[in-house]
């Protein structure tokens, strides 16, 4: 069994919150009961960046939700969680985010804004999880974000499609904040499908 590792409390908090708000308390409690996570009933981790929660709990929560309502149903919920999670970070760090927004506005193109923001996110992720955790790769048309040990599919195996929907939501919201445009992001490889790492392809052009 894959050994767990610590993650920021906020990751688990906004995932639980999104499931609760969309499926209701009974729906969330059904998932918590079937996954052995009943400790989170009416007792979410604090919404902060302390590295105290377990990646294994995220994986169990995601797998339990897929078992209960199916992979397609979970996709909308977890992408919503990712969008909420990034907006929470904006609300909780207004001075830092306002300073970053001012710097991004100085850059002349969306490509430069995306590279700057996703580069900062990658740097912060590697600061928390280790130097080789995340990589941002510039492509001729877009970018790839490569995550070595993705918490959103932690411990999940044998899937026929990617499952890291919360990461998609986080990246979508971040890029919209930086560019005020919607860019498609696709998970093209997932550890839950047997890949070595999870890879997210950011389109080179915004949606029409």
Average pLDDT over residues 117-135: 91
Q: Is the pLDDT of residue 190 over 70?
A: yes
CA distances to 38, 66, 110 from 175, in Å:
35, 27, 9
The pLDDT value recorded for residue 3 is 65
Q: What is the pLDDT of residues 62-72, one digit of tens each?
A: 999 999 888 88
Q: State the number of CA atoms in the 13 A half-sphere of 188 facing the CB.
A: 11
- The model carries a pTM of 0.91
3-state secondary structure of 131: coil
The pLDDT value recorded for residue 153 is 94
CATH number belonging to the domain at 6-202, selected among 3.40.30.10, 3.30.160.250, 3.10.20.30, 3.90.1520.10: 3.90.1520.10
The pLDDT value recorded for residue 22 is 86
Q: What is the pLDDT of residues 4-43, one digit of tens each?
A: 789 999 889 988 988 898 889 999 999 999 999 999 999 9
Cβ–Cβ under 8 Å, residues 61 and 15: yes
Ordered by start, the domain boundaries in the chain are: 6-202
Average pLDDT over residues 36-57: 93
Highest mean pLDDT among 71-75, 130-134, 141-145: 141-145
């Amino acid at each position: 069994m894959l050994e767990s590792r610590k993650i920021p409390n906020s990751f688990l908090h906004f995932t639980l919150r999104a499931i609760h708000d969309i499926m209701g308390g009974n729906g969330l409690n059904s998932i918590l009961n079937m996954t052995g996570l009943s400790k989170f009933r009416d007792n979410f981790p604090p919404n902060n960046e302390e590295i105290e929660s377990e990646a294994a709990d995220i994986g169990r929560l995601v797998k339990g939700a897929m078992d209960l309502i199916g992979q397609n149903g979970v996709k909308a919920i977890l992408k919503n969680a990712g969008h909420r999670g990034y907006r929470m970070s904006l609300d909780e760090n207004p001075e830092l985010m306002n300073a970053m927004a001012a710097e991004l506005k100085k850059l002349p193109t969306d490509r430069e804004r995306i590279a700057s923001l996703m580069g900062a996110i990658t740097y912060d992720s590697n600061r928390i999880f280790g130097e080789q955790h995340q990589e941002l790769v510039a492509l001729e048309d877009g970018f790839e974000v490569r995550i070595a040990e993705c918490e959103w599919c932690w411990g999940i195996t044998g899937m026929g499609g990617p499952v890291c929907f919360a990461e998609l939501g986080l990246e979508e919201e971040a890029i919209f904040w930086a560019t005020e445009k919607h860019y498609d992001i696709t998970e093209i490889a997932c550890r839950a499908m047997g890949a070595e790492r999870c890879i997210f392809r950011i389109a080179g052009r915004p949606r029409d």
